[in-house]
Amino acid sequence: MKSFCISFLAVVLGLLTSPLPANEHGPARTELERFAEGLETFQAEFTQTVIAQDGSIQDQSGGNVWLQSPDKLRWVYVGDFPETIVADGKNIWIYDESLQQVTVKPQSSESSDSPLMILADVKRLDEQFNVAELGAFEDVQILELKSRQEESEFERILLGLDAGGIRMMAMEDAFGQRTEIRFAGAHKNTGLDAGLFVFTPPEGADVVGVAALQE
């Protein structure tokens, strides 16, 4: 779940903070451009479902997400296995409350080969992905991203958008497993506490990894 979430959030941050080319204006891209225009912050509740190739549900979870352009986020899973992921612009912190363990690594080490950096550059977006409009599904317009590289963590990324912005995101891997995240109660450009994007390891927690020095 951790590695998936980091890659997934990279996609969210990249898409929400990057303008898309003006030469391909299908309905999904139009809605994404409209939502991304002037975006500074985003927050929402989410539900996450992992679906196997045979259609069986492997895992369900939920929580809350906060994003701040261009590179900060807080993603919190609630329930039986609470987990908090914070990207502060320099480091990614992953806190597994059940294990009382914190994993930290420089944010650049995750983003250097992730969609975060690719989607932050419009030219690289089209170089790295085949982008297609798939039409309407469940009252949202679907945008598909397929990596042009043979070795990719995901076979494709799907975005579901409507006039209110991003409603659904999904990633499908090479084994046919699909992870869907659906957003509700979303708010754009509302004031967020800066403390949301600061993480201090709880007293007594084991810390694994090395953080990059803050400037």
Q: Is the dihedral of CA 198, 96, 75, 210 positive or negative?
A: positive
Which tokens hold the place of 67?
């994003």
Residue ranges for the chain with pLDDT beneath 70: 1-24, 108-126, 213-215
> What pLDDT digit, counting tens, does each position of 120-152 carry?
444 456 677 788 999 999 899 998 988 887 777
> What pLDDT digit, counting tens, does each position of 59-68 carry?
999 999 998 8
pLDDT at residue 29, rounded to an integer: 82
pLDDT at residue 30, rounded to an integer: 84
pLDDT at residue 18, rounded to an integer: 55
pTM, 2 dp: 0.82
Task: Write the CA distances from 146 to 4, 55, 118, integer angstroms.
Answer: 17, 22, 13
> What pLDDT digit, counting tens, does each position of 43-57 carry?
999 999 999 999 999
pLDDT at residue 69, rounded to an integer: 81
pLDDT at residue 12, rounded to an integer: 59
16 CB-near residues (< 8 Å, 6+ apart) = 35, 36, 39, 42, 67, 69, 166
pLDDT at residue 118, rounded to an integer: 41
pLDDT at residue 113, rounded to an integer: 41
pLDDT at residue 15, rounded to an integer: 57
DSSP class of residue 164 equals T
We find that the CATH architecture of domain 2-208 is Clam (2.50)
Instruction: Give the pairing of strands 101-106 and 206-208.
Output: parallel
How far apart (Å, rounded) are the C-alpha atoms in residues 153 and 197? 27
pLDDT at residue 121, rounded to an integer: 41
Closest-CA residue to 164 (of 3, 56, 52, 34): 34
How far apart (Å, rounded) are the C-alpha atoms in residues 160 and 146? 15
Domain boundaries, the chain: 2-208
pLDDT at residue 115, rounded to an integer: 43
Residues 18, 128: contact at Cβ < 8 Å?
no
